Amino acid sequence: MIRFVCVFCMLAGSVGAESVTVGTGAVLRGLDKVSGKTTDIELANGTTTEYGRLVISLGECRYPEGNASGDAYAFLTVRDKGATENAFSGWMVASAPSLNALDHSRYDVWVTRCKTK
C-alpha cells in the first residue's frame, strides 16, 4: 500500500510540473456491459448528457501541451438516474483509466481524449 501511495505521489508531482492546456471538451467512451456495445460520447466543458441510465457531467478536460489524447484528464460527475448519490465524481485519466474508474454494474465510461476545437 505504501508503495502505491509513493508512486501516486511521484506521478502527481510530475504532472504538476507540466504546462497544462484546457480543452474545449472531452471525448468519452461508454460500454454497455449487457449488450457489449460501445459508444463515443462528446461533451463540451460544463455540459451534461445522458448515456443509458447514466447522467454524465463534464467539468473540464485538461491535457499537457502538445498531447491532447494520451495524457488527457477530465473532471466528471456521473449519476445513475435511479440513485440519489453520484456513482462517480472526480478526475479520470485517459492514459490510466483504471486509476480512478467508474464502478457501475451495467456501464463503463472512460476518457479517450480532450477536444481542442
- Digitized pLDDT (tens) for each residue of the chain, 117 residues in all: 444 444 344 444 445 567 888 999 999 999 999 999 999 999 999 999 999 999 999 999 999 987 766 689 999 999 999 888 999 999 998 888 777 788 889 999 999 999 988
What CA dihedral angle connects 14, 15, 21 and 25, to 10 degrees?
Answer: 160
Q: Global pTM?
A: 0.79
The string of DSSP letters for 17-77 reads HS-EEE-SEEEEEEEETTT--EEEEEEETT-EEEETTEEEEEEEEEEETT-TTTT-EEEEE
Question: Domain residue spans in the chain?
Answer: 19-115
Under 8 Å between Cβ of 29 and 40? yes
Distances from the Cα of 42 to the Cα of 52, 101, 104, angstroms = 15, 18, 20
Q: Which three cell numbers stand for residue 74?
A: 477530465
61 Cβ neighbours under 8 A, 6+ residues apart: 22, 23, 24, 25, 26, 45, 72, 73, 74, 75, 111, 114, 115
